[in-house]
Amino acid sequence: MPFHAQELQIEVTRDGNRSVVRFLHCDSLNEYNADRVGQLMSELAVGHADQQVVLDMSTIQYLTSTILGHMMALHKKLRASGGRLRLENVLPAVRNVFHATLLDQVLDIQVAGAVA
């Protein structure tokens, strides 16, 4: 496993019923770190039931279909427990992936620079 895959970490800050997740040391969510992303998202689903989980995507320039699957799994688990997933600060190239897969019609996505 490449070294950079082990570096992937998240920072979670909480404000009431809202948890904001930031990806640290990472600009690409891909097959090298997909297992770690899946693990982190599973933990988010369990630890943040009945909350709004916000993924701050401001540093992410690339993601793969495996990561989309992990995001959808998180979305479904949160919804089932009364929670909600929101993606904020999504860069244009990543926004295009959500648009091409029609996931922008399913997920709550806020584009970088847009006013909430």
Mean pLDDT confidence for 99-114: 91
Q: Please, what is the Cα angle at 28 between 22 and 33, to 5 degrees?
A: 85
Least confident of 6-10, 39-43, 92-96: 6-10
The per-residue pLDDT for range 25-53, each reduced to its tens digit, is: 899 999 999 999 999 999 888 877 788 99
- CATH number for the domain whose boundaries are 3-111: 3.30.750.24
Question: Among 23, 26, 16, which Cα is nearest to 87's?
Answer: 23
The per-residue pLDDT for range 67-90, each reduced to its tens digit, is: 999 999 999 999 999 999 999 999
